[in-house]
Chains A and B, each alone.
Chain A
Amino acid sequence: MTRAFLRLAVCCLALPSGILFAQDASSGPVQATPRVVPALTPVRIEILEAQGSAISKPDAHFPIRLVDPVLLDGKTIIPAGATGEGEVVHAKKSSMSGGPGELILAARWLDVNGHQVRLRSMHLSENGKSSIKDVNRIMIASAATVPVAAMLGWFMKGKEVVVPSGTYAEAKLAADFSVEP
Chain B
Amino acid sequence: MRLKHLAIFAAVAVGGLSVPAMAYDTPPELMMVVPPAPKGKGLVVFYRSASIFGAAISCAVSENDKKISSMGVGRYFVYAAEPGKHSFSVSSEAKDQVTLELEADEVQYVGCRIKMGIMAGRPDLFPAKEADFRGNKKLSLSDPKSYGEGVLKPEEIATLAGVTVTTPAAAH
Contact = CB atoms under 8 A, between A and B. Distances in A.
Interface in B1-58: 3, 6-7, 10-11, 14, 51, 53
A139 B10 contact: yes
A141 B51 CA distance: 16
A41 B63 CA distance: 32
B136 to A, nearest CB: 14
Contacts of B113: 132
Nearest to B11: A140
Contacts of A102: 98, 126-127
B126 A144 contact: no
A113 B114 CA distance: 50
A97 B122 contact: yes
Chain A, interface size: which category?
A: 20 to 34
Contacts of B127: 90, 102, 104, 125, 127
B85 interface: yes
Interface in B92-125: 97-101, 103, 106, 113-118, 122, 124
B10 A135 contact: no
Contacts of B99: 58, 89-90, 104
B129 interface: yes
Contacts of A84: none
Contacts of A132: 113, 115-116, 124
Contacts of A145: 3
Interface in B48-106: 51, 53, 85, 97-101, 103, 106
A136 B53 contact: yes
Nearest to B87: A90
A130 B97 CA distance: 17
A99 interface: yes
A168 interface: no
B117 A97 contact: yes
A114 to B, nearest CB: 26
Nearest to B6: A144
Interface of A: 58, 89-90, 92, 95, 97-100, 102, 104, 106, 120-121, 125, 127, 130, 132, 135-136, 139-141, 143-145, 150, 153-154
Interface of B: 3, 6-7, 10-11, 14, 51, 53, 85, 97-101, 103, 106, 113-118, 122, 124, 126-129
Kindly list the 6 A-B residue pairs having the minimum CB-CB distance in the complex, ordered from nearest. Answer: A143-B10, A144-B6, A90-B99, A97-B115, A97-B116, A144-B7
